[in-house]
Amino acid sequence: MFFFLKAALSGVLIALISTIARRYPALGALVASLPLISVFGMIWLWLETHDPVRMETHVSATFFYVIPSLPMFLLIPWLMRRGVPFWPALLVGCSVTVVLYLLTILIARRAGYSL
């Protein structure tokens, strides 16, 4: 039952963002940029585990994964301004993000930090 509550609340958030963005693109972007999904994830994890070590690991790893995802938000509009259609631009943006995630993991391991 808790799974369905989590899924419903998360789905409502995504629907709300797309609805706002349809009328007010900048406001939709602001709401989307809020770390609401991360906050929901932390709340769900805490309610399910009450494990401070797991929470610390989760929050720290989230920080390191946010950084390589940021270039996607510059790359997609840059590609689209140059005539690349949305779906290929999204695919390129997501692919670059995956590569940056892998590089982040490798760099973190070399620095002695496990993600």
C-alpha dihedral, 55 to 60 to 61 to 65, nearest 10°: 130
Give residue 54's pLDDT band: very low, low, confident or very high (50, 70, 90).
very high
| Integer Cα distance of 98 and 84 in angstroms | 20
Q: Which residues, at least 6 apart from 64, have a Cβ–Cβ distance to it below 8 Å?
A: 104, 108, 113, 115
- Examine the pLDDT at 86 and tell me if it is beyond 90: yes
Give the residue, 48 or 37, on which the prediction is more confident: 48
| Integer Cα distance of 57 and 61 in angstroms | 6
- HEC string of the chain equals CHHHHHHHHHHHHHHHHHHHHHHCHHHHHHHHHCCHHHHHHHHHHHHHHCCHHHHHHHHHHHHHHHHHHCCHHHHHHHHHHCCCCHHHHHHHHHHHHHHHHHHHHHHHHHCCCCC
Give residue 19's pLDDT band: very low, low, confident or very high (50, 70, 90).
very high
| Residues present in the chain in total | 115
Query: Can you give the pTM of this predicted structure?
Result: 0.78
What pLDDT shows up at residue 108?
Answer: 92
**77: its two tokens:** 């509009």
- Examine the pLDDT at 36 and tell me if it is beyond 90: no
